Structure formats: C-alpha cells, structure tokens
Structure 1
Amino acid sequence: MDEMVSNNKILIIDSDKDTCRLLQFSLMKDGFEVQCVQSLREGYDVIVSSSPGIIIIDINLADGAGLEALRLIEIIKSIHPGAHVISSSVCNGNNERGKSLDSGASYFVDKPFSGKEIHSIVHRIAS
C-alpha cells in the first residue's frame, strides 16, 4: 500500500497547539504543505489519507505515550516506507531516542527544540 509520499507534505502530531502553529507557519513560509493534529488517531487518519513524506511526532501524547506512539512510527514505515519520521520528546532520554530510532524514526529531537533545528532537518530530508 505504499503510495508515493511527498517530501513537500509535512504532518505534525503534537498536543502543544503553540508548537504546531509556530512550526506550521514557519514551514509553510518555506513552501511546504503542513497539517497539524493533536492525537495519534488523527495522525493515523492523515497518514493514510494524504501520504505525507515528513512526519514530526511527539512520542508523549494524551491518547498514546511511549509504546503507542512508537507503534505508530512502525505503522507509518510499513504503510509508507519512504516517509521520514522526526520523533521528539520532552523526556531527554537516550532510552526514548534509541527506541524511536529502532522503531523507524529517521531523527530524534529533544524538546524543547528550536525551530532552526527542525528546519535544518526538514530541508536536509526535502533536498
């Protein structure tokens, strides 16, 4: 079921609406098509329906933290192997970093992260 993913389409899955809005606004200024959702369920629906090439996901969400979020990363990679996942967490732990990368994330970013850091990663992926 691997539709072609578009590295111009970005999905942000994060419960912090301010983080979503700031990233969405700045990435849209760079020409990306950006959608934000606040839950794993909503994220799954968007992934299936619109094939984003870049997914930025907080692995600690209200409807699924830790293992549930890591499972979504595995599902993303099974549906769209070409998608790039940037996982993030406020917990600054090597354990979460390792588990995220083992689940298929391309990058792990500690929260709070800078917009500059995310932009650098997104532009590296998109080029």
Structure 2
Amino acid sequence: MSNESMFFKGLRLLVVDDDPDTRTLLTFLFELDGAEIVTAASASEALEVMSFFKPDILISDICLPDEDGYSLLRKVRNLEAGRGRKIPAIALTASVSDEDRIHALVAGFQIYLSKPIDLEKLTCVVADLAGLKQYA
C-alpha cells in the first residue's frame, strides 16, 4: 500500500475552482498519492500562484468568478511559452454539451471532464498526462 500512496510523488498540480469543497477534495485526493497541490479560487489568483509555483498540470473549472477558464488557459499558455513549456490542462465543468466539450478542446484543454467529478477517471487522466504508468 505504501508504494500506491506515493504514485504521484513529485507531481505538481494547480487546481483552480471557485468551489472550496472541490478544491479541498482534489487537494486531499492528490496529496494522499504524494502530489504537491496549490489551489486558487479565481483566474487572477491562479496567475499570481504561477509566479512562484510551476505546475506540471493545470486542473481548472471553466466557470470562474473573475474570468473564465478559457481566458485563464490563454494567459497560462502565453506565460509558459516564454519559458519554453506547455502545461497540460484539464477542464472541469458542469456544462456537459458536445458544443462545450469541443470549445474546451479547441481552446487548448487536453481533457474535458464534467462535474460531478469522477475521481477515478480524473486520477487516471492526470497519470496519463503526467506520463506515469497507468494508475491502478
């Protein structure tokens, strides 16, 4: 069990969601597996975090209070392009239409997941984006 509990050791995740319960749940989920998590409640807070925290993966809600997840991703992509990086990004949203999914993927998110969040699917997606062996 101890090997399993450190599956995400060294992985750095930035979770952006205006819902405190979602931030707490995802922090708990990934910290249990050894990841380092920083959370933000808004796009502006996330961009501030990016000044001192270099995440391996961005997990962001689309509907944020100050600006949406699409705008956040554009700003993150511009910031990271200057550093020669491209952070994989996962969109979380309550919007579940095909049109919304396509919009998120065209905007640059690698993965689109609807809420309520399927935690097992999310951990598998994070493992895949991080290039880790399949999460069991």
Alignment TM class, shorter chain as reference: 0.7 to 0.9
Q: In the alignment, is the contact (CA less than 8 A) between 1:53 and 1:82 conserved in 2?
A: no
Secondary structure at the counterpart of residue 64 of structure 1: coil
Counterpart residue identity of residue 25, structure 1: F
Corresponding position: 1:23 with 2:26: yes
Using the alignment, how far apart are the partners of 1:48 and 1:85 within structure 2?
A: 17
Q: CA RMSD in A?
A: 1.5
Q: Give the aligned partner of residue 114 of structure 1.
A: 118
Could you give the per-residue CA deviations for residues 55-84 of structure 1, whole angstroms, max 9, x where no partner exists? Answer: 11001012123xxx2121122222224201
How many pairs align?
A: 118
Q: What is the distance in 2 between the residues matched to 1:107 and 1:47?
A: 21
Quote the Cα distance in structure 1 between the aligned partners of 2:113 and 2:72.
17
Q: What is the TM-score with the length of structure 1 in the denominator? A: 0.85
CA contact (8 A) 1:9 1:32 kept: yes
Q: Which of residues 37, 42, 47 in structure 1 aligns to 2:45?
A: 42
Larger radius of gyration: 2
SS of residue paired to 1:50: coil
**Which structure's residues are more often strand, by fraction?**
1
The yes-or-no answer on 1:58 pairing with 2:94 is no
* Other-structure match for 1:70: 70
What stretches of structure 1 move > 3 A for 4+ residues in a row?
Answer: none
Which consecutive residues of structure 2, in runs of 5 or more, have no partner in the other structure?
A: 1-9
Ranked by relative contact order (alpha carbons within 8 Å, sequence separation 6 or more), the top structure is 1
